[in-house]
Amino acid sequence: MKHSPGFLSLVQIAQAQVQEISLEQAKRQMESLPETVLMDVREDHEWLSGHAAGAVHLGKGILERDIETRFPDRQTPIIMYCGGGFRSVLTAEIAQRMGYEKVGSLEGGFRAMVEGHWPMETPDQLS
């Protein structure tokens, strides 16, 4: 997908503030810190087409409204992912501004997870 210059500029600014986490780092963190939340910030239709096993869904459009209710402890370790790693940089930066201190963005997002053979759940597995 070709992204607009304005969007890419916002992502670049947020990247300077956010820890980006490789797929390997994410695997290690989730093994060593089982309380880590893997958060899918994609749109509802993307989530419903398949997502990382064990992930929670809190779409970018409602993150600011709902994150404090779902995860009131701002020390909760959270790894956010989107389709390719750009929207999750933006949502991680927002979460940090809201006081979340242990949040990062998965480099490459869902595409990297698929390529890396991350365990997935699909709608037929959920019913």
**Does pTM surpass 0.85?**
yes
What does the pLDDT profile of the chain (127 residues) look like in tens digits? 788 988 888 889 898 999 999 999 999 999 999 999 999 999 999 999 999 999 999 999 999 999 999 999 999 999 999 999 999 999 999 999 999 999 999 999 999 999 999 999 987 665 4
DSSP 37: E
Q: How far is CA 25 from CA 33, 36, 72, 94, 106, in A?
A: 12, 12, 25, 22, 9
For the chain, domains (ranges, CATH) are: 19-126 (3.40.250.10)
CA atoms within 13 A on the CB side of 90: 17
